Structures are given as structure tokens and as C-alpha cells.
Amino acid sequence: MEFDKHGFVLEPPARNSKSPKVSIGMPVYNGAKFIRRALDSLLDQTFTEFELIISDNASSDETPRICLEYAKKDKRIRYYRNDVKIGAIPNFNRVLHYASGQYFMWAAHDDRWAPSFIECLVQSLDLNPQAVLAFCRFVNIDDDGRLARTFKENWKDVFSRSKFWQFTYMTLSDELLTQKANHIYGLIRRDTLLECDGMVNLPDVDYSGEDILTLLRLLIKGNFVINDQVLFHYRARSHTTRRNEPLASYIWQRIAQQKSGHQGNLLLFFIHNHAYHSNMRKLIAIETSLPLFEKFVLWLAIWLKEVWFPIRFLPIGVLRELRVLR
């Protein structure tokens, strides 16, 4: 087996009679707080024919010890550790390229899955040869694992409509209200995902909607099928907010990027916003087979969304962070 300079497998392993039907890829960095619960949730699945590939992105906490402990207990787990920290998206792709199963799913180190999650989604893909991704309804849980939020979106209905409607909903619906990016944690045909080059990687800009762009590429390749049960629990981690700190002091620390829990500033927000919407426009215009008029309508709508999103989001987001709005 040959590797590139980042340690990626150049040629994915071929599936043979001994390969599991499902490969689970868990990229992780400093996940000691939650990873035990995530691993227990996966190992408790009613569907057992899977491999669990963990790629530790040079964690500095107890993550390596915990992962090795679980790998010793269950032979389905394979643990790899990066000597140096690579980007989050390359680490997502690393677990994909180590996989050998017919179906593949990414698993975050802090989420939870119903025991029948994999079994139900395997059945969905087995029964729908034209489907490239299977997922389910989902909810949010908080840091303590308690139900934090439910969602009313009827994704089963969305993905049963025309391709134009599907692309419209996936590009224009509100990311924060719908959490549509959670579909990236569905069960995916591995060969199709490899045809899409795995998770879209934008090397010039740190995270700018690569999960949504990847989902759009998969949607070009085939259909999404949705199980109408809540089988996935996405952990919505708590965000840094101003507590009793003086307002002026807090704002200054945010501007100077001295406040922990924040990775960027206002300029980076606009850079990411533009990169995200610009790449969506390119994908719709170049990669989809939609009629020219539908492409133009979507291209224009995405451009308008790029302009409107900061106007709508920034004031409310800032006020909530400063605890002016509750």
C-alpha cells in the first residue's frame, strides 16, 4: 500500500469477501470529553458488520489512550494517529481512504446514534439502487446529552421532488435553522463518494461549507433517501458568550482575537461567506445537468443570499453573544 506525503492512501483498498459492508470513519482531535459515549453508541449498533476507522489528528489530551483502550476490546476498530496536525477536511478524507466497505459514513466523536441507525440506513440503500445517500430525521443534544432542539423540516418530502427543487432547498434554505449539513453524516455509497473526491477540500480558506458542497456533488450523482425516524443525535456544543464580563472589555478581546472559543473575526466571516456561496454558484453552473434557465435562476438566488445572509445573521448573532438578546 502506497501513501502520499500526508499519509493518505493513494489507492483505496479494494473490497473483497472479507471486507465489512459498512465502514465508519471517525476523524477526531482532542475528543476525550465525549468520545467514549460516541464509541459506545456505535458499538451498540444492531448492525454489526462494520469497521470503525479512527484518525486522531495529533490530539494532546487523553484521546489516544481512550481509542487504544477501545481498539484492544473490539477488533472492528482501527486506530491511526497523525504525527502532526493536518487540516480537519484532510483528516475527514483520510478515514475515507482507509475504508473498504461498500457503504461509508462519517461519525463525529461527540454525536450519538440510535441502536438501529446503521441497520435502517443499510436497508434503505439496499432497497434503493438509485440512492447514493441514506439518512434520517435528527435532533440536537447539549453538552450533557439532553434534548436541546427538534426540527420540523420534512427532508423526505424535499428529496422526493424534482432535482431543481432539491438543489434549491439545499443551497437557499437557512443553514442555522435547518442544519441541512447534518446529512453529511448519513450512510453513503463509498464508490460514489470517491468519485466525488471525498469531502470537498478548499485549501485556500478554512471551513467554508465543504460539507454542503460535498452533499451537492452527491446529489448530482443520485438520490437521497430519508428514513422518517429520529435516529441521529447531533451534539450542538455550547458557544462562548459574555457572562458578567464588562461589555467593553469583552468586545476588545473579541476584536483582538484573545477570547478562547473563537477562531476568526469579522473579515474572515465575510471571506468564508463569499467562498461558500461562490463555490455553490460554480458547482450549480458547471457540474449540474439542470436546464440553463434553472441554473441561472439558482445562480442569481445564491448571489442574493450571499448578500442577505450577513445582514440577517450578524446583528442577531452579535447581540446574542453579548447577551443583549437571550
Residue range 92-130, pLDDT digits in tens: 999 999 999 999 999 999 999 999 999 999 999 999 999
Q: Tell me, yes or no, whether 197 and 253 share the same domain.
A: no
More confident residue, 159 or 260: 159
The CATH number that applies at residue 142 is 3.90.550.10
Q: Tell me, yes or no, whether 118 and 63 share the same domain.
A: yes
Question: Is 59 within a domain?
Answer: yes
What does pLDDT average to over the chain? 88
Question: Is 114 within a domain?
Answer: yes
**Which residue is associated with the grid cell 423526505?**
156
Give the end of a domain, one of 213, 235, 257: 235
Q: What domain count does the chain have?
A: 2
Q: Tell me, yes or no, whether 251 and 286 share the same domain.
A: yes
Residue range 201-229, pLDDT digits in tens: 887 666 679 999 999 999 999 999 999 99
Q: Tell me, yes or no, whether 169 and 303 share the same domain.
A: no
Question: Is 6 within a domain?
Answer: no
Question: Is 1 within a domain?
Answer: no
pLDDT at res. 12: 46
Question: Is 118 within a domain?
Answer: yes
Q: Tell me, yes or no, whether 180 and 304 share the same domain.
A: no
Give the end of a domain, one of 172, 202, 235: 235
Alpha carbons within 13 angstroms on the beta-carbon side of residue 211 total: 14
**Per-position DSSP letters for 154-221, written without gaps between them:** -HHHHTTS-HHHHHHHHHHS-HHHH-GGGGGGSEEEHHHHHHTTSS---TTSS-SSHHHHHHHHHHHH
Q: Which domain holds residue 193?
A: 22-235
Q: Which three cell numbers stand for residue 258?
A: 484573545
Residue 235 belongs to what H/E stretch?
strand 223-235
Please state the separation of Cα 133 from the chain's center in Å: 13
pLDDT at res. 3: 42
d(CA 36, CA 284): 40
Q: Tell me, yes or no, whether 48 and 139 share the same domain.
A: yes
Residue range 248-295, pLDDT digits in tens: 676 666 666 655 555 556 677 788 889 999 999 999 999 999 999 999
